[in-house]
């Protein structure tokens, strides 16, 4: 098609990265009629990844160029942290990205004119510069997180000792201060290699000042006005990040019939439950927990007396063990393979009250179903947006990455979540505490006249949902990004 723009989106490994990149691509295609090619590192080892890729390409609207993740076994420790592995993979992957981009530039009917990379992909901006393409960084999370990334190299100079040992919150100009216990994973230990890698990509984002065209962030103006203002104000964070910041969110998935194939039994079960009566429990693409915590969670759900759907994974003493292997066991209807890890008699006692799904659930279908009234979530940004845009309040159960920050944002600033008194990665949350937070968001009290009282969290999430719908109806800032390519 004449004058049609062709943009290339680069996704780093991990479904939590690929899913929002696909959503961004779809928005460009369906709202702005662009041609989109996604370059993605895929491993084909997981059922969940296959599903995500299949749904993205069905209909033929988006092309995906798949690259196998580079072999980094000789470069880093096998047990290196996720951020280290991601940064090394993306660095080692630059030659393959160059080949893919050059190939597209030489063969595509519409020559690609822009490259959008996620935060781990800034090394590839140089390749786009060589090919004379426009260059953007896409932050698949929120503006407060972007502020921390931009300010991290300054904090590195200001703060002595470990961040987690500091007594006072860190002041990020124009933004909510960040408590030491809420720092992102790579800031937990400054002596770990991932901290240096983290500083590397934090320094990589302002590269767009010199050779790039802007930063896209998956939020919207009314949700994070203060942080966005700081990022654009030359006297605040805009003094570091001088490139334009576009609030392009909320980018969220919609239910997809391909994604829900084979789970008709689950929809059928949900159809039979009362409105807003089911709590959905899931820890994103990578979240895992210890055996002890899993036992307490099972007891807590049972004691709460509420209906539930729980996406189960085998227990392990790490919070992010499934990051590179999500859903690799495939679907195990009813979670029967994993029920051996649950308290004795749990499945029969909760028969028909609770549903277990193994490894990977049809999350969007679940959260859009009217019977779902709560989400016990690890606070990944995509999951949270899927919850908020469906008006579902959350129990914040942060595990890794920037999830502690997210939990604080949801509980203290946005009022869309409650959280247990202890931080799940520091201490086991016991069954009574779990039952209590589940009831807090699920049970709607009645006054003496049997009139339902308002639940402030449910009301809060519905207000934010309205602002999300409004942002979506205005079309976000993507139109501006598209327009710069037309100039």
Binding residues (CB under 6 A) for ligand UDP: these are 15-16, 19, 253, 282, 284-286, 311, 360-361, 363-364, 380-383, 386
- Residue 23 CB, nearest approach to ligand UDP (Å): 8
Catalytic residue list contains 31:
no
- Looking only at the bridges linking them, the beta strands covering 354-358 and 214-217 are unpaired
Nearest CA among 292, 326, 269, 249 for reference residue 45: 326
170 or 198, CB closer to ligand UDP?
Answer: 198
Report the nearest approach of ligand UDP to the CB of residue 288 (Å).
11
Residue 325 makes CB contacts below 8 A (sequence gap 6+) with 45, 46
The residue (of 82 and 100) whose beta carbon lies closer to ligand UDP is 82
- Secondary structure (3-state) at 259: coil
Output 346 or 360, the one with its CB closest to ligand UDP: 360
Nearer to ligand UDP, 134 or 253 (CB): 253
- 67: DSSP letter: E
Rounded to a whole number of angstroms, the minimum distance from the CB of residue 285 to ligand UDP is 3
Q: Which is nearer to ligand UDP, 346 or 400 (by Cβ)?
A: 400
Residue listed under structure tokens 């539930």: 308
Contact in structure between 150 and 205 (CB atoms under 8 Å): yes
Q: What is the DSSP code string of 260-324?
A: TTT-HHHHHHHHTSPTT-EEEEE-TTT----HHHHHHHHHHHHHHT-EEEEEE----S-SSTTTT
Query: By C-beta, is 84 or 389 nearer to ligand UDP?
Result: 389
Question: Alpha carbon of 20 to those of 137, 200, 305: distances in Å?
Answer: 13, 23, 35
With a CB cutoff of 8 Å and minimum separation 6, the contacts of 112 are 6, 7, 8, 37, 101, 104, 105, 131, 133
Catalytic-labelled residue, pool 6, 32, 118, 142: 118
Residue with tokens 């050779």: 211
Pairwise CA distance, residues 348 & 354, whole Å: 10
| CA max distance for the chain | 73
Distance CA 218, CA 373 (A): 24
Tokens encoding 75: 């470069």
Least Cβ distance, residue 395 to ligand UDP (angstroms):
14
Asked if residues 456 and 418 have their Cβ atoms less than 8 Å apart, the reply is no
Q: Give the nearer residue to ligand UDP in terms of CB position, either 15 or 372.
A: 15
Q: Is 227 a catalytic residue?
A: no
| Residue carrying structure tokens 């949700």 | 223
**Of the residues 6, 17, 32, 142, which is catalytic?**
17
Q: Which residues are catalytic?
A: 17, 118
């Amino acid at each position: 098609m004449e004058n049609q723009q062709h943009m290339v989106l680069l996704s780093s490994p991990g479904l939590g990265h690929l899913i929002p990149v696909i959503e961004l691509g779809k928005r460009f295609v369906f709202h702005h009629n662009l041609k989109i090619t996604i370059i993605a590192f895929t491993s084909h080892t997981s059922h969940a990844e296959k599903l995500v890729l299949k749904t993205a390409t069905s209909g033929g609207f988006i092309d995906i160029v798949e690259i196998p993740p580079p072999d980094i076994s000789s470069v880093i420790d096998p047990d290196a942290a996720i951020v280290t592995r991601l940064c090394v993979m993306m660095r080692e992957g630059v030659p393959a990205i160059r080949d893919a981009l050059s190939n597209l530039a030489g063969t595509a009917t519409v020559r690609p004119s822009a490259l959008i990379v996620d935060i781990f992909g800034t090394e590839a901006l140089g390749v786009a510069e060589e090919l004379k393409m426009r260059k953007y960084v896409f932050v698949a999370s929120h503006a407060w997180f972007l502020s921390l990334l931009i300010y991290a190299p300054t904090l590195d100079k200001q703060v002595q000792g470990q961040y987690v040992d500091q007594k006072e919150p860190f002041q990020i100009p124009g933004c909510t201060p960040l408590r030491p216990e809420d720092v992102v994973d790579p800031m937990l230990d400054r002596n770990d290699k991932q901290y240096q890698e983290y500083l590397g990509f934090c320094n990589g984002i302002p590269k767009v000042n010199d050779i790039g065209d802007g930063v896209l962030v998956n939020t919207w103006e009314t949700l994070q006005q203060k942080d966005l203002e700081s990022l654009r104000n030359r006297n605040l964070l805009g003094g570091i990040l001088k490139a334009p910041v576009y609030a392009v969110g909320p980018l969220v998935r919609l239910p997809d019939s391909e994604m829900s194939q084979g789970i008709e039994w689950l929809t059928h079960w949900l159809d039979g439950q009362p409105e807003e009566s089911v709590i959905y429990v899931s820890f994103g693409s990578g979240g895992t927990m210890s055996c002890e915590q899993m036992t307490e969670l099972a007891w807590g759900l049972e004691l709460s007396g509420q209906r539930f759907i729980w996406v189960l994974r085998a227990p392990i003493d790490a919070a992010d063990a499934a990051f590179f292997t999500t859903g690799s066991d495939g679907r195990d209807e009813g979670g029967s393979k994993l029920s051996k890890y649950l308290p004795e008699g749990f499945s029969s006692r909760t028969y028909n009250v609770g549903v277990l799904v193994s490894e990977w659930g049809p999350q969007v279908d679940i959260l859009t179903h009217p019977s779902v009234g709560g989400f016990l979530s690890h606070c990944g940004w995509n999951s949270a947006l899927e919850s908020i845009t469906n008006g579902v309040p959350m129990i914040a159960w942060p595990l890794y990455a920037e999830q502690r920050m997210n939990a604080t944002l949801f509980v203290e600033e946005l009022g869309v979540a409650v959280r247990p008194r202890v931080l799940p990665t520091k201490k086991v949350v016991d069954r009574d505490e779990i039952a209590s937070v589940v009831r807090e968001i699920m049970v709607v009290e009645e006054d003496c006249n049997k009139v339902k009282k308002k639940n402030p969290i449910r009301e809060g999430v519905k207000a934010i949902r309205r602002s999300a719908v409004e942002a979506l109806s205005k079309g976000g800032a993507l139109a501006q990004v598209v327009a710069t390519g037309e100039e």
